Structure 1
Amino acid sequence: MAKAFDLRAWVCVSDDFDIKRLTKAIVESIEGKSCDIQELDPLQRRLVEMFVGKRFLLVLDDVWNEYHDKWDRLKQALQCGARGSTVIVTTRLEKVALMMATIPFYRLGCLSDDDSWSLFKQRAFGMGIKEGNVNLDATGRQILQRCGGVPLAIMAIGSILHSKSQESEWLRVKDSEIWDLEDEGKRILAVLMLSYEHLPPYMKQCFSFCSIFPKDSVMVKDELIGLWMANGFIPSRRLLDLHDTGCEIFSELTRRSFLQEIKEDVDGTVTCKMHDLIHDIATSIMGHECCVIEPNERLKIPKTARHLFVHNSSSSTNIMDLSKLQPLHSLILGNEISFCGIYNLSNPAQFISKQKNLKVLDFGYSFSNTAFKSLKQLRYLCLHDGNMKTLPESTISLHNLQTLNLQYCHSLEMLPKDTRHLKNLKYLDLRCCSSLTSMPVGLGQLSCLRKLSMFVVGKDIGCGGIDDLKELALVGELSITGLHNIKSSTEAKNANLKKKQNLSSLSLSWRVDSLETCHHQHRNDEEILNVLQPHSSLKKLCIFGYQGDRFPYWMMELLIPNLVEISLEDCEICDQLPPLGKLRFLKVLTIKEMGALKYIDSNFHGDMESSFPSLKVLEIAMAPCLEEWTTVNGREQFPLLSSLTIKCCPKLVKMPMLQSLKKLEIGGINVTLLKSLMMNATILTSLWINEVDELTDLPDGLLQNQKHLDSLTIVSSTLKSLSGLQNISSLKTLDLSQCDSLVSLPANGLQGLLSLSSLRIQNCKKLASLSEGVLYLTSLRDLLINGCPELTSLPESIQHLSSLQSLRIWSCVRLISLPNEIQHLNLLSQLEIKYCCNLMSLPQGVWSLTALETLEIEGCPHLKRQCKKEERIDPT
């Protein structure tokens, strides 16, 4: 399946079939990152650029939209894909399936009796302690019959019974009157409601509040617990603080399947989702008390609303004047919301100041001191103002504040000097507050503080010292920067990191501001790092800017054996690495800017039969003195390593054999090492070659063993020939960039690339001709030529690119013509010509392209007159 499609995306649609939201979600699913485009037209153009000429698989999950016009608008943007592109739709409505299907739809059945019983037993009997009780088995099967083979209902009811061991308790569940509902949908909801009814009252509140987030939202565990605390849903216990009790509630809701898709990263951040049916239950319970404003809705906010969430991309038109609402308890605004624009409030600060009962405030603006002073009940404050340099001093008057989230406040330079007075503060999130230069004095007095993502050691008198961390029982992630400002090891030892057993990620940085010298005067780095030993349970360790000669004993003796990820960067003086090969759980290792490192020897691998048994990703970069990587004979090394990056190690000539590699990125090394690596790595799927010394061609045999290579990128100013590319039949994507010595594509240089679907040639300054090198690329669907100033024409053999669907030519300033043979490209649907200022005209064959849907011309003055004459062309 993976090789059948060039692109794959999965998007949860739910009951909001908003074209802009879905288009953006598809783009983000494919690119794997956030998309900043906000308007529909450029979003759809971006989607077309991605899909054109590509065979894609798109899953639209849980569709409820019944309107043809909405589906037709989205469908138009999906019709640019190559033949074989597939859209799979899941829905609970037959009407939707009939509207969207192009082939007979498949109706998913319920689980079989055997599968239902197997799933039920996992949930209800757990480890099998109750299994074998004949009466419970019989009652369980009777209950199971009423679940109708629906997995969600089975898991929910099984979770209820998990904690019940008496037959009478099982019989009460079986005989519940809610089972008598006739409609199947209502019956399933009734099953889930039964699960809800078995929750303790405080847990019911925590669960139902989750309806404040839109369906399919990714919820962060700590943020969720912070919101529960703020609204008073978590009961106070003597032995446990609110955070710990909140963690118990989260775990119980997870076990009962109210929260699903639990994921935890190495930093300790836990996320979850809520199934749509479960979300419906929560929404029905909250009624009009919770109100969620989805994108482009003109929903009238009920006066009974106490908790209001406004989605990021909601319409900028007026929804309702908030000033007419009753006092809110929670107000959460997406950080792209225009507060004044949506609600027509001439004075937002005045509106906020009147919210005497507000407990949760999450928005992208900072208001005046006056606005904050009146919020005596506020317990959760989240600001996303990237321009805010200081937090209002009135913030310290919020004595009930439990959560202060300032993440992404990039310009924030200081916290209020009396922050220590926020005695109830539990979460202080300072991630990405890169302008902070110090901490206020007395943070150690915040005895309730559990999360402190960043601590900055200041250099001035009056700044908070690292010893403020001593008594704090921190959990999750902690980054300590400015360690060069610590005066003595005694001061550093007082941080008491060794006792912080709940820290999962620790970052220690000596890196100073760019305006300061990196080689500070008082070098006590070794003493400092020696006493900053973390607890043995730590999973992630990052060290930046350390200038000691040796790493501390606790690293050399591996007193932190549970590490999963390590990053050592800018440790310029260290010439020896710890024996990291002994770490059984290590999966990711990054080594950068170690200028004194000359040898990697057997000590690095450790005295083990198999070194680095779990390592999957390894990066070594900017080690200019590294000469030799000694292998360990007779022992297995890196058995699971799938991704390797080696950059700027010009003296390195020898490395271990790495046969499990699938992704290799190399640059700034010599060609001998390249040959050695390629000889052993025979199952590569992705290869990136960036400025390898003396690489003038691709040596014979370098790539011939690569039967699985899917993507190849070459960035090389010395490369002159591509003759070694023949017969890589698996290659789908070829990128040539900054190959300044490449004059042309050889006549047979691309022969045998039977699967090549995308060819991108960029910034190759001497490339004057494609010659007949494209003749054999009959599977090519996407061709991009960008920044090739010597290119004057394309070969007539372009007509043999029978599968070409997208042709983009940018910034080829000497290009004067296109061949008329372009008319034979029967599948060409996209043609872009930009900044080719000497291109005099388009060939007449362009007007014969029956599949052409998009012609975009920009920065080509000579084509303007011709395009105006053609009625069918609408230049942009």
Structure 2
Amino acid sequence: MADLRFAALPGSIALLLDKIHSVLLSPGFAKDTTSASLWKRLESSLASISYVIHDAVEPRCNSHGVYAWLLRLEYAVYDAEDSVDDILFEPARLEVEAIARNLKYQALRCRDEFFSSLRLVLSLDEKPIWINGNLVEDIDVIAKEMDKYGFIKRETRDELRLSDSLPATSLLDETAIYGREEDRSNIVGLLLSGDENLDAIALVGTGGLGKTTLAQLVYNDEKVRAHFELKAWVGVHTDFEVDRITRIILKAPTFCSIEGDMSLELLLDKLSASLDGKKFLLVLDDVRNEDINKWNDLETSLKSGARGSKIIVTTRSQGVADCLGCSIRYQLNPLTEDSCRSLLAKSAYAGRDRSEIAMLEDIGMKILKTCGGIPLSVRVIGGLLRFKKSREEWCHVLEDLRKANNHDSISSIVLLSYYHLPALLKLCFAYCSLFPIDYEFHKEELVLLWMAAGFLQMSSGQSMETVGAECVDGLLKRSFFIPIDNSHFKMHDLIHCFAEDVSKELCLRWESSDQAANPQRIRHLSLLRNERDIPEMLSVVLHWNRLRTFYLIDSRSCQISPQALKDIFPRIRRLRVLSLPHFPHAKLPHSIGKLKYLHYLDVSHSALASLPESLSTLYFLQTLILTNCYSLLMLPQGIVKLVNLRKLGIKGAGLMQMPKKMSRLTSLQSLTNFIVGHGGSSIKELGALPNLHGSLSVSGLQNVSSPSDASGANLKAMLYLDELELEWSCNNEDPATDQKEVLENLKPSVELKKLSIRFYGGKEFPKWLGDSSFSKIISLHLSDCINCKSFPPLGRLSSLEHLIIERIGGIKSIGHEFYGVDVYGCKPFQSLKTLKFVEMSQWEEWILLEVDGQEFPCLEEFYVINCPLLKGDLPKSLPALVKLEICNCEQLEASLPQTSECCVPKLDNCDEVEKRSNDNQTAPSSREDGNQQFSTSMGSIKDLHESLSISELQDVSSASHASEANLEAMQYLDELELEKTPQDKTLPKIDGEI
């Protein structure tokens, strides 16, 4: 079988041909006949190879000679790519520097003159030192050797185009689960029963059967969440590293924070203390190591938990269950035929009409039989079949599966699906092997890396980012990725292992210096944090002069010195991707300017106080990430020369202003922040960047020179911007009228989805805020606008789901203007799910609509916090409400709204509020729903009978008040904790079921 690692080679050849074509079409190139003829020879030879390359990498028996031929071809393709980059860099440099001097004509002339002297790069007499032999001659020979292997020519196709698009579906729907409800119920029952000191349950089954998925269902079950005080999930995988496992447990949201340099002994002590007397649930996912000594080290600390604590272990091995002393082994069985059919239909039949499905169903059932009831197999084969339109294509898939004759059905199905991937997706998928098992990919980050690696090209008017997003979606729809949410995803461990196979020796995830590697082939390298090995590893990397990716993973303390980087940079000049997060030094070496092909640089969370000016000569740079570089106060002025820059991430950096002439960065697609300073770029420079996507925060607005500058920013033209934050200084002393005009002129696009305004000093909000044309806004956050005395008609924002209002100090009354009901037929806040008022110090009254049911019909969460002067009523009916919190509203005398049955209010320091439940309200359905805390007087809760469970009552000061509480009538009370209770007071009679 041709080696899997060559399966992506057709895509690499297609990318190279695309680049060569762009070189041949460059102005001035055709004037030089020697260079042009050499490049045309190269293009011709590669084109002839492209006709047979698919046959050469097919999964069928081949001779050792074919392997050697493919290996030579692969080397030659990479060398040719480097040669193209050499050619493209110099005219790019000349053009950028001429443009910097405002000499556009000279820039074009420089470019033409360079191409007319191109023979120096690829003449037969000149051999750049990084090429072994003559590149054109070598590829000519490779092309001539094709005939002796008998490869079959195929019709060429657009390798860089994805398959025909499918009907849009939610990618989260791809995770639909079938046939595990009984298993889920059984495991939940096991977790909620028993009172042993520490009980371990093993979910045992073959890979791909759904053990992790079942464990996740159980872990997120409402009853389970309410039953355990603490929960943690750890992906264990190959190595049972007690240090790593302990750290992950302690970092879980319900546990505590830890220091980075704690020893294992201290970590285990902290774990023991954190668990002391608490009932916890721990999931150890995908355990493979059977070293009982390592388990014993961890088990000792786990035993400090309360009785009834549970551990779920997912594993493929009964030996692991024995090693961990699991008292219960739950054997997971394959899915039933009906469940498999439902799972297949979810993906394979998506978007097809009934007649198509009827034509394919019988073949689909035959294909299902090859899956053995394994959910992963069904998902992957379904992902393949959804892109096969005809019955004939489905029959070919069935035939290929039968030919495989492999007892490991998952491997056969994944292999077949991989070979049917478009060439572009093969390249992108193989690159993912750089990341460890269980790694949570972020969509934008991965697309930027693919772009830097050279996989993505602008196509049919689509940006590279759009093409990359389609690649992610394509791999999700084929079940090579598992969605977590709309922007994050993972790979199944079996799929991840397959990615390692297909990228072998080209991509290396280096976890220790003991790993063998072939420096001649390695192009992409990631390092997992291991401080002891890093110096030795770096000494090896010095000799990997073909390296294109250097990516540091899981580095909370980057143990690479500036001197080490100074030594490495001149040796790895072909680098496209450099990721050094958490770099602990104040400066990067000046030699970073040697990395002239660099496309991606990430030094986020670093101690950098400045960036070298040589950074401004990296003309190919597309992505620069400086997130949370708190000490970085300025960017190099020359950064505006980076005209290919598409992503500038500076959120959390300490920047005081932007460099002058930011408007030159016209390729920018993502700019996280724009800081208006006294000496840098004016806000009107933003007007030249209309293609910004994602989120943008504009701060320092008190430094805007004039309202006309704000108008020049032209935010309304940024149609692709989803989120916008506008922020003045917290010490804002500018005239309120100027600020009102500035904000009026900062009107964003009506395509905006999220808006935040902070520290605005005007007396009223602009007219556009609350305009019904902003029909796509789903989130609005107004905070610290201390002079505003009224709200705009926010009720007219038809899609608004989340509204947070904090510290609007001038507001005394909220009335009908808030709802915008002066417009006939307007129904306010029809989509609102969250409403929060916080620290409204002057707010006295809330004038409600007279007709109930028109306001807040979808509201799920309602908060009124620290509004000490508020009096009067609250909305009378909030039928969808599930969470209500009213705190420190001492003068509020309102009745609680009528709510859904599951809503349990949290009240604190608002004794005058009449707390009463709905007439038809029943008891909370779970302990979690009822386990709310009330800090109040006993007398004020006398009406909370059947509808609430209460876990904490504080400051019981008198027996008479305690009697008034009538706890005996609270038949659903599960737990009662009394704090600050005088010893001489008598408690009321309590229901015997507590």
Pick from 246, 250, 273: which aligns with 1:23?
A: 246
Q: Residue type of the partner of 2:340?
A: S
Partner secondary structure for residue 553 of structure 1: coil
Partner secondary structure for residue 633 of structure 1: coil
Q: Which residue of 2 aligns with 1:832?
A: none
Q: Which residue of 1 aligns with 2:758?
A: 544
Give the direction of change, closer, same or farther, for the CA distance of 1:614–1:521 in structure 2 (3 Å limit).
Answer: closer
Give the direction of change, closer, same or farther, for the CA distance of 1:750–1:178 in structure 2 (3 Å limit).
Answer: farther
Give the direction of change, closer, same or farther, for the CA distance of 1:539–1:338 in structure 2 (3 Å limit).
Answer: closer
Q: Which residue of 1 aligns with 2:336?
A: 112
Verify the 8 A CA contact 2:666 2:688 in the aligned structure 1.
no
Q: Deviations over 1:344-393 (max 9, x none)?
A: 99634323343212221111225444231211121111113543232221
Give the direction of change, closer, same or farther, for the CA distance of 1:732–1:42 in structure 2 (3 Å limit).
Answer: farther
Q: Are 2:716 and 1:494 aligned? A: no
CA shift at 1:569, angstroms?
A: 0.9
Partner secondary structure for residue 321 of structure 1: helix
In 1, Cα distance between the equivalents of 2:985 and 2:514? 61
Q: Which residue of 2 aligns with 1:370?
A: 590
Partner secondary structure for residue 263 of structure 1: coil
Partner secondary structure for residue 733 of structure 2: coil
Q: Which residue of 2 aligns with 1:587?
A: 801
CA shift at 1:464, angstroms?
A: 4.0
In 2, Cα distance between the equivalents of 1:48 and 1:529? 54
Partner secondary structure for residue 795 of structure 2: helix
Q: Residue type of the partner of 2:374?
A: V
Give the direction of change, closer, same or farther, for the CA distance of 1:663–1:316 in structure 2 (3 Å limit).
Answer: farther
| TM-score (normalizing by structure 1) | 0.77
Q: Residue type of the partner of 1:21?
A: R
Higher deviation after alignment, 634-643 or 530-539: 634-643
CA shift at 1:591, angstroms?
A: 0.5
Q: Are 2:387 and 1:155 aligned? A: no
CA shift at 1:528, angstroms?
A: 1.9
In 1, Cα distance between the equivalents of 2:786 and 2:882? 30
CA shift at 1:223, angstroms?
A: 0.8
Q: Are 2:767 and 1:553 aligned? A: yes
In 1, Cα distance between the equivalents of 2:255 and 2:354? 45
1:642-791 alignment to 2 at 5 Å? 642-654=860-872, 655-657=874-876, 659=878, 660-673=880-893, 676-677=895-896, 683-685=902-904, 687=906, 689=908, 692=910, 707-708=923-924, 710-713=930-933, 731=949, 733-734=951-952
Pick from 606, 610, 616: which aligns with 1:396?
A: 616
In 2, Cα distance between the equivalents of 1:773 and 1:250? 66
Give the direction of change, closer, same or farther, for the CA distance of 1:353–1:176 in structure 2 (3 Å limit).
Answer: same
Q: Which has the higher contact order (CA 8 A, sep 6+)?
A: 2
Q: Which residue of 2 aligns with 1:484?
A: 702
1:140-179 alignment to 2 at 5 Å? 140-176=364-400
Verify the 8 A CA contact 2:573 2:594 in the aligned structure 1.
yes
Q: Are 2:651 and 1:437 aligned? A: no
Partner secondary structure for residue 31 of structure 1: coil
In 1, Cα distance between the equivalents of 2:862 and 2:786? 22
CA shift at 1:450, angstroms?
A: 0.4
Partner secondary structure for residue 361 of structure 1: strand
Q: Which residue of 1 aligns with 2:551?
A: 332
In 1, Cα distance between the equivalents of 2:293 and 2:947? 43
CA shift at 1:160, angstroms?
A: 1.6
Pick from 642, 652, 675: which aligns with 1:456?
A: 675
CA shift at 1:163, angstroms?
A: 2.2
Q: Deviations over 1:498-543 (max 9, x none)?
A: 222211111111225xxxx422147422222222222222111101
CA shift at 1:20, angstroms?
A: 2.6
Pick from 250, 275, 290: which aligns with 1:66?
A: 290
- Specify every segment of 5 or more residues in structure 2 that has no aligned partner in the other structure, as ranges: 1-222
Give the direction of change, closer, same or farther, for the CA distance of 1:492–1:723 in structure 2 (3 Å limit).
Answer: closer
In 2, Cα distance between the equivalents of 1:245 and 1:687? 48
Verify the 8 A CA contact 1:37 1:43 in the aligned structure 2.
no
Q: Deviations over 1:68-94 (max 9, x none)?
A: 222333333332333333222222223
In 2, Cα distance between the equivalents of 1:562 and 1:321? 51
Q: Residue type of the partner of 1:437?
A: M
Q: Which residue of 1 aligns with 2:214?
A: none
Partner secondary structure for residue 732 of structure 2: coil
Higher deviation after alignment, 420-429 or 469-478: 469-478
Q: Which residue of 2 aligns with 1:91?
A: 315
Partner secondary structure for residue 906 of structure 2: strand
Q: Residue type of the partner of 1:503?
A: L
In 1, Cα distance between the equivalents of 2:239 and 2:463? 39
CA shift at 1:141, angstroms?
A: 2.0
CA shift at 1:249, angstroms?
A: 1.3
In 2, Cα distance between the equivalents of 1:150 and 1:610? 50
Verify the 8 A CA contact 2:770 2:792 in the aligned structure 1.
yes
Pick from 483, 492, 497: which aligns with 1:261?
A: 483
Verify the 8 A CA contact 1:746 1:771 in the aligned structure 2.
no
Q: Residue type of the partner of 2:296?
A: D
Q: Residue type of the partner of 1:638?
A: F
Q: Deviations over 1:237-287 (max 9, x none)?
A: 3522322221221221122122221423xxxxx222112121111111112
Q: Residue type of the partner of 2:245?
A: L
Partner secondary structure for residue 572 of structure 1: coil
In 2, Cα distance between the equivalents of 1:772 and 1:671? 29
Q: Are 2:741 and 1:530 aligned? A: no
1:299-378 alignment to 2 at 5 Å? 299-300=514-515, 302-304=517-519, 305-312=522-529, 314=530, 316=532, 320-325=536-541, 326-327=544-545, 328-334=547-553, 336=555, 338-340=557-559, 347-363=564-580, 364-365=582-583, 367-378=587-598
Verify the 8 A CA contact 2:876 2:897 in the aligned structure 1.
no
Q: Residue type of the partner of 2:440?
A: V
Give the direction of change, closer, same or farther, for the CA distance of 1:37–1:376 in structure 2 (3 Å limit).
Answer: closer
Verify the 8 A CA contact 1:179 1:191 in the aligned structure 2.
no
Q: Are 2:861 and 1:632 aligned? A: no
Q: Deviations over 1:460-489 (max 9, x none)?
A: 3x5343333433301111111112222233
CA shift at 1:130, angstroms?
A: 7.1
Q: Residue type of the partner of 2:726?
A: L
Partner secondary structure for residue 677 of structure 1: coil
CA shift at 1:316, angstroms?
A: 4.0
In 1, Cα distance between the equivalents of 2:839 and 2:683? 33
In 2, Cα distance between the equivalents of 1:773 and 1:109? 57
Verify the 8 A CA contact 1:179 1:190 in the aligned structure 2.
no
Give the direction of change, closer, same or farther, for the CA distance of 1:677–1:778 in structure 2 (3 Å limit).
Answer: closer
In 1, Cα distance between the equivalents of 2:241 and 2:508? 19
- Specify every segment of 5 or more residues in structure 1 that has no aligned partner in the other structure, as ranges: 265-269, 762-766, 781-802, 804-876
Superposed CA RMSD in Å reads 3.8
Q: Which residue of 2 aligns with 1:508?
A: 726
Higher deviation after alignment, 3-12 or 558-567: 3-12
Give the direction of change, closer, same or farther, for the CA distance of 1:17–1:778 in structure 2 (3 Å limit).
Answer: farther
Give the direction of change, closer, same or farther, for the CA distance of 1:452–1:36 in structure 2 (3 Å limit).
Answer: farther
In 1, Cα distance between the equivalents of 2:307 and 2:787? 57
In 2, Cα distance between the equivalents of 1:38 and 1:751? 50
Q: Are 2:494 and 1:277 aligned? A: yes
In 2, Cα distance between the equivalents of 1:92 and 1:756? 40
Q: Which residue of 2 aligns with 1:246?
A: 468
Pick from 608, 629, 653: which aligns with 1:409?
A: 629
In 1, Cα distance between the equivalents of 2:719 and 2:850? 38
Verify the 8 A CA contact 1:440 1:464 in the aligned structure 2.
no
CA shift at 1:421, angstroms?
A: 0.5
In 2, Cα distance between the equivalents of 1:498 and 1:285? 46
More helix by share: 2
In 1, Cα distance between the equivalents of 2:267 and 2:975? 24
Verify the 8 A CA contact 1:526 1:551 in the aligned structure 2.
yes
Higher deviation after alignment, 567-576 or 386-395: 386-395
Partner secondary structure for residue 322 of structure 1: helix
Give the direction of change, closer, same or farther, for the CA distance of 1:345–1:755 in structure 2 (3 Å limit).
Answer: farther
Q: Residue type of the partner of 1:4?
A: H
Verify the 8 A CA contact 2:675 2:698 in the aligned structure 1.
yes
Give the direction of change, closer, same or farther, for the CA distance of 1:770–1:37 in structure 2 (3 Å limit).
Answer: farther
CA shift at 1:403, angstroms?
A: 0.5
Q: Which residue of 1 aligns with 2:783?
A: 569
CA shift at 1:149, angstroms?
A: 1.8
Verify the 8 A CA contact 2:380 2:417 in the aligned structure 1.
yes
Give the direction of change, closer, same or farther, for the CA distance of 1:670–1:772 in structure 2 (3 Å limit).
Answer: closer
Give the direction of change, closer, same or farther, for the CA distance of 1:667–1:157 in structure 2 (3 Å limit).
Answer: same
